[in-house]
Amino acid sequence: MEQPPKKPTSNSEQNPEKITYQTLDEIKASIFTADNGGAIIVGDELFYTTTSKNTTERLRGLENNGFTVEITTRQAEEGVHDVYDIRITKN
């Protein structure tokens, strides 16, 4: 008996195309849509904190699109999600 095709489990699997954001405002809007989060822009930097590893990996893809992405991981207690502090600047 054949297995049904595997369903995508993340946004990046559903939409594997390259991230093509041009501005920090576009990134901020996509974060709000994808993660119900609240990124803030201060000057020419975007700051965001999440517990979503998928969102973190998706944003890391911006490094190939003219942005610098710095991610700091704060280790959580056992059984609790790690926290990722993200800082993005346009090159």
The answer to the question of residue 1 being in a domain is no
| Rounded Cα–Cα distance for residues 9 and 13 (Å) | 7
The answer to the question of residue 41 being in a domain is yes
Q: How far is CA 30 from the centre of its chain?
A: 9
The answer to the question of residue 6 being in a domain is no
The answer to the question of residue 2 being in a domain is no
Do residues 65 and 19 lie in contact, with contact meaning Cβ atoms separated by under 8 Å? Answer: yes
The answer to the question of residue 57 being in a domain is yes
Q: What is the pLDDT along the chain (91 residues), one digit of tens a residue?
A: 555 544 444 444 444 455 678 899 998 888 866 565 678 999 999 999 988 888 888 889 899 889 999 999 998 788 788 899 999 999 8
Do residues 90 and 23 lie in contact, with contact meaning Cβ atoms separated by under 8 Å? Answer: yes
pLDDT at 2: 58
* Signed CA dihedral, 46, 48, 64, 58: sign only: negative
The answer to the question of residue 13 being in a domain is no
Helices vs. strands in the chain: H and E counts, helices first = 3, 4
Q: Which structural domain range is residue 66 located in?
A: 20-90
How many domains are contained in the chain?
1
Write the CATH number for 46.
3.10.28
The answer to the question of residue 37 being in a domain is yes
> In terms of Cα–Cα distance, which of 44, 88, 43 is closest to 67?
88
**Model-wide pTM > 0.85:** no
